[in-house]
């Protein structure tokens, strides 16, 4: 059986098919208690820096600039290897579901991270 990477909002129901659940947000999701959310690994280190996230949320930079700067952060991120190793190890045993809180993921860091992960795992 081939296992895969899935994506879903943290507010969606936890399912057995989620497998290994990784939170890919820097901040804990609003309104949720840690004991109520099944998270196996919190990948804070691969999320946008505080400065970048705040610049985007305060509308100092637009989404295009945010995406480019986040991609540059990912390219230089020395912690990404640990994340990648963890995901690859878990994919040998089960699905990996990357969990996020954004209501509008297409305007968040998620599409940039998703593309980056797909590129890395294809190599």
- Indicate the pLDDT class of residue 2, thresholds 50, 70 and 90: confident
> Percentage of the chain surpassing pLDDT 70?
99
Per-residue CA distances from 60 to 36, 43, 45, 63, 87 (Å):
35, 26, 23, 10, 33
- Length reported for the chain: 123
The residue ranges of every structural domain in the chain are 5-122
Q: What is the 3-state secondary structure (H, E, C) of 93-115?
A: CCCEEEEECCCCHHHCCHHHHHH
**Comparing 1-10, 50-59, 68-77, which segment has the lowest mean pLDDT?**
1-10
Interval 21-55: pLDDT, tens:
999 999 999 999 888 889 999 999 999 999 999 99
pTM, 2 dp: 0.91
Distance CA 12, CA 1 (A): 25
Distance CA 96, CA 85 (A): 12
């Amino acid at each position: 059986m081939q296992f895969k990477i899935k994506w879903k909002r943290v507010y969606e129901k936890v399912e057995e098919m989620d497998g290994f659940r990784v939170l890919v947000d820097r901040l804990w999701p609003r309104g949720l208690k840690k004991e109520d959310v099944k998270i196996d690994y919190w990948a804070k280190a691969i999320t946008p820096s505080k400065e970048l996230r705040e610049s985007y949320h305060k509308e100092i930079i637009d989404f295009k600039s945010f995406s480019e700067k986040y991609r540059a952060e990912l390219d230089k991120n020395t912690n990404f290897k640990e994340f990648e190793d963890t995901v690859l190890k878990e994919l040998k045993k089960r699905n990996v579901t990357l969990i996020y809180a954004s209501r509008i993921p297409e305007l968040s860091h998620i599409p940039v991270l998703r593309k980056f992960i797909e590129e890395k795992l294809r190599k």
